[in-house]
């Protein structure tokens, strides 16, 4: 991954974390790594008074030349996210038992300014 893409990804994760906080999520961890993958953001969603442990994949793009951001989440990526979520839950048994995987698409311009952001819940 190039330095530009790495920085762009970090900007995207910051935008995503801010968006989630504004929408009532409590962020409890970031960049949880296992062999073969990572989860960008782990949060608790208090939607309708029900605590849900949410694992969030962030995809940031400055162009749709290679497709929309969420098109980059394929079968193998989703499988890795599910496996990482299961491992995280085993390591943190006191967290809510209800879980889901969400994705956030972040679109920025060449100056890393936010153009668009959208959340898709329960992608698994």
- The domain segmentation of the chain, as residue ranges, is 3-120
pTM higher than 0.75 for the full model?
yes
Q: Which residues pair with 37 in a beta bridge?
A: 34
At residue 110, the pLDDT reads: 84
- Which tens digits make up the pLDDT trace of 38-86? 999 999 999 888 999 999 999 999 877 778 888 889 999 999 999 999 9
Look up the CATH number of domain 3-120. Answer: 3.40.1350.10
**Distance (Å, rounded) from C-alpha 110 to C-alpha 108?**
7
- Which tens digits make up the pLDDT trace of 15-39? 999 999 999 999 999 999 999 889 9
């Amino acid at each position: 991954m190039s330095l530009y893409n790495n920085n762009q990804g970090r900007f995207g994760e910051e935008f995503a974390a801010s968006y989630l906080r504004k929408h009532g999520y409590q962020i409890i961890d970031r960049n949880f790594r296992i062999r073969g993958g990572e989860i960008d953001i782990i949060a608790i969603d208090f939607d309708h008074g029900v605590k849900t442990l949410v694992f969030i994949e962030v995809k940031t793009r400055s162009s749709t030349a290679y497709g929309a951001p969420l098109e980059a989440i394929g079968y193998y990526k989703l499988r890795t996210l599910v496996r990482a979520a299961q491992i995280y839950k085993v390591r943190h048994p006191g967290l809510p038992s209800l879980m889901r995987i969400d994705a956030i698409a972040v679109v920025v311009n060449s100056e890393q300014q936010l153009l668009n952001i959208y959340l898709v819940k329960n992608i698994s």
